[in-house]
Every structure is written in structure tokens, then in C-alpha cells.
Amino acid sequence: MNVQIGNNPLRFAGEILSNLKASDDMGLLRCVQCGMCTSVCPGAKGSNYNPRDMVEKVLEGEESIINSEEIWNCFYCYTCHSVCPVGNSPCEINQILRQIAIDEGIVNDKVGIFAGYGDSFLDIGIGAMPKRFFMELNEDIEGWLDFKSELEEIRNELGLGPITIPKKSIEEINVLLKKVGFDKRIEKMNSY
């Protein structure tokens, strides 16, 4: 454990807990370091990302965790959130850490990729796969591009109606997103 003399090691944890994104009952301070979160984490399986370790660093006041490129390997699948025995949420903690990183202008190769998801909220009113991944996805899933271009037609045939949000609703979503400064944040991320 990283002992900090003359400083409160839980100051950083307190900052996380008081963040708007943190659930009222988030059990950060109850974390027993059991590692259950890491054992089920798909991000940890494919990279060096380790949610248990991330939580430990937060509890030890190691604010440098916001510089870690690994925290950008979380999928926000909430599996850790659902299995944690003490009601902690590495997923929410990760979201807050990334937010702090963006606010502080901490740049890495992954941040720009996430901006693409943000662009889609402004363009079509929902989070969607950024266009830059279309070709790669088509390589991984044969025929994916054809399927995507024919999706509306397929849905029509099935009587499912349009998958897209009405233009008026997209405009309303844009008004709300601009009101809270979302567009400016995306602009900032795209500039990284």
C-alpha cells in the first residue's frame, strides 16, 4: 500500500465518489481487492487493462492512473459492476477517470477513436460504430457492409420500421447536447 504522510490518500477516491457520474451507493471504499472484476473483464482478457488494479490505484491516491493508456481498453459492458461482491463499479470509476483525463487534455492514440462515437450522437442522435471502423468490420464479418446498406430495406420487409431517428428528434438531441457543451468536448477530442 502506498502510504502518504501528511496527505489524505483517500482524497482522490473522494473526488471519484463525489463525481456526478458515480452512483450514490457505489462501493469504492468497500473494495476488498478480490479480483472478481478482472477475472470477468473482456478488456483485461485482450490487453493489460486490469480493473482491480485500477481501483487499487484510486484507493491509494495514485492520480497518475489517468495517464494510463490501458484505462481506454474498458468496453463499458458493466460485467464487473454486476459481479462485484461489495457493490463497487470499476466501470463507473473508469468513466470518471477518462472524463478527468479528457478535462486535463491527456492525449493518447485511443482518445480520438472514442470521439467518433461522440460524433455519431451529433450526426444521427445515437451512439454508433464510427465510420472509420467500417472497412475493418467488413473484413472481420464478411458481408457486413452489404448488410448495413440493405438494413432499412430488410427492416421494411419485416415490418419493423426505420432504424434511424426522425430528423426533428436529431435536431432536438443536438440542442440538448450543445446546451451541455458535448459538441465542444467532441471537438476537443477530435483535435487530439
Write out the residues near ligand SF4 by the rule CB under 6 A.
31-37, 40-43, 51-52, 55, 74-80, 84-86, 88, 90-91, 94
Q: How many CB atoms lie within 10 A of CB 34?
A: 14
As measured in angstroms, the least distance from the Cβ of 37 to ligand SF4 is 3
Enter the C-alpha cell of residue 125.
Answer: 442522435
* Helical spans, DSSP H, in 31-180: 36-40, 42-46, 51-59, 79-83, 90-103, 109-124, 134-140, 144-149, 151-157, 167-179
CA separation for the pair 188, 192 (Å, rounded): 7
As measured in angstroms, the least distance from the Cβ of 175 to ligand SF4 is 30
Q: Which is nearer to ligand SF4, 51 or 116 (CB)?
A: 51
Q: Which is nearer to ligand SF4, 56 or 152 (CB)?
A: 56
As measured in angstroms, the least distance from the Cβ of 137 to ligand SF4 is 19
Q: Which is nearer to ligand SF4, 76 or 147 (CB)?
A: 76
As measured in angstroms, the least distance from the Cβ of 89 to ligand SF4 is 8
Nearest to 90 by CA among 128, 52, 62: 52
Q: Which is nearer to ligand SF4, 49 or 121 (CB)?
A: 49
> DSSP state, 166?
P
